[in-house]
Amino acid sequence: MTGTPPTLWSSLREHLDLARELRYLEIRFDAEKCKGTWQCYEVCPVGCWTPSKPLRVVEFHNPELCIACGACVLQCPESAIELS
């Protein structure tokens, strides 16, 4: 391992930074890439995604419900969803 070994303090800092980051993560959805597999809708535990039947795409709703769990990001086969 290069760099300095982690200390109790640096590990704590890392945790806090991660927690802050986690809190402000937001979904970025590139609707152009969506091919309508609806995997995001299948896996979202809070109901942020709604399938739009005629167009075979999804719509992102209710960003305030998002818990940044990352399930839709991982399951999207087109990499159309990002958390940042």
Summarize as ranges the residues that interact with another protein (CB under 8 A). 1-2, 5-6, 15-16, 18-20, 22-23, 39, 42-47, 67-71, 74-75, 77
- Cβ-based neighbours of 79, under 8 Å, separated by 6 or more: 33
Name the minimum Å distance from CB 44 to another protein: 7
Name the minimum Å distance from CB 42 to another protein: 5
Distance in angstroms (rounded) separating the CA atoms of residues 41 and 60: 9
| End-to-end Cα separation, the chain, in angstroms | 28
* Nearer to another protein among residue 45 and residue 54 (C-beta): 45
